[in-house]
Amino acid sequence: MRISTLKIVSLVACSFFLFTPLTSANAQSLVSQARQYIGTNPTGWSHLWCARFMNMVLQRSGYRGTGSNMARSFAGYGHRISGPQVGAIAVMGRRGGGHVGVVSGIDARGNPIIISGNTWGGHSRRSRVMEAPVARGRVYAYVLPQ
């Protein structure tokens, strides 16, 4: 079976337009966009808003999100990668549901540092956007935005 050069070029062109690689500058833009909301709740929602926050950050960074308010919707989004990378989206399991955020770094133990919404911590009685390391084993998918 012979495959023409035109078909191969068309296939490569189509894959390029379906997935544009996350560059270092784009990754920093995504992280910066998320980071500016630390300590706040920019969604106005009172519960289960981590995916809504992630979609908002993606949209404001020029990406298309999942359009879903479910964290697990990000497991099938974008281009799956094998490990943490700055600017990648981390999809995590948690008791009673899921959680999602953007990787902003990796700590000395190899755990991803995640910026995510609907996070509780410190002395606050409200959920908010926070940046903190997450145990590696808690993350079941890393995806690059599209």
Dihedral sign for Cα atoms in the order 74, 22, 136, 134:
negative
Which 3 state secondary structure label does DSSP give 7? helix
Euclidean distance between CA atoms 117 and 43, whole angstroms: 9
Amino acid at 95: R
In the chain, where the domains are located: 19-144
Q: What's the number of CA atoms in the CB half-sphere (13 Å) around residue 117? A: 25
Q: Let me know: does 115 contact 99? Beta carbons within 8 Å.
A: no
Q: What is the pLDDT of residue 10?
A: 38
Q: What is the pLDDT of residue 143?
A: 97
Q: Which residue has the tokens 């079976």?
A: 1
Could you report the average pLDDT of every consecutive run of 10 residues in the chain (146 residues)? 42 39 77 96 92 97 95 95 96 89 96 94 74 96 94
The CATH number given to 19-144 is 3.90.1720.10
Q: What is the pLDDT of residue 97?
A: 81
Q: What is the pLDDT of residue 66?
A: 97
Query: Cα-flanking dihedrals φ and ψ of residue 53, to 5°?
Result: -65, -45
Residues forming a β-bridge with 115? 102, 131
Which 3 state secondary structure label does DSSP give 134? coil
